[in-house]
């Protein structure tokens, strides 16, 4: 594994790529739902028509909400400076624990960067709340698991 600080830059870049892909698919989902609503309007009649249109509208709203959430995550990520070094848990920190690496940025889940697994977590995650403040070498418990802080970048 490369230097933790260099890895953090690669993790941040991968997060941006993943979010851009998810946003692209969400935009396609919104457009697909919009088209479904249009085609249903043209081809249906009566109660069936109203039910189909309502379902298409609900699907479009669901897709738009998902897209909005992804765009919020992207704004959060774009607001992080991956070149900033961290000494404590904070947004933008890559945290090395005995259990693995955690990038404090947005709730994206587990990603793989340069053959290394990294859990990308929200700054508001319960795990992070349980571990703050913590010094290198310190051990804490969370939901029955022991967490030892090894390093922060």
Find out whether 33 and 63 touch, Cβ atoms under 8 Å: yes
Report yes or no on whether pTM surpasses 0.75: yes
Predicted confidence (pLDDT) per residue in 50-61, tens digit: 676 777 778 888
- Show Cβ contacts of residue 7 under 8 Å, excluding neighbours closer than 6 positions: 1, 94, 101, 113, 114, 116, 118, 153
Residue 126 has pLDDT above 60, yes or no: yes
């Amino acid at each position: 594994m490369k230097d933790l600080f260099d890895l953090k830059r690669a993790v941040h870049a991968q997060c941006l790529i993943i979010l851009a892909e998810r946003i692209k698919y969400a935009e396609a989902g919104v457009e697909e739902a919009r088209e479904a609503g249009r085609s249903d309007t043209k081809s249906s009649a009566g109660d069936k028509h109203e039910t189909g249109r309502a379902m298409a509208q609900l699907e479009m709203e669901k897709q738009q909400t998902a897209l909005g959430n992804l765009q919020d995550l992207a704004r959060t990520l774009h607001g992080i400076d991956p070149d900033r070094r961290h000494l404590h848990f904070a947004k933008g920190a890559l945290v090395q624990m005995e259990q693995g690496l955690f990038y404090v940025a947005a709730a994206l889940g587990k990603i793989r960067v340069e053959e290394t697994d990294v859990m990308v977590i929200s700054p508001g995650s319960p795990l992070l709340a349980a571990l703050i403040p913590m010094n290198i070498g310190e051990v804490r418990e969370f939901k029955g698991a022991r967490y030892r802080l090894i390093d922060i970048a």
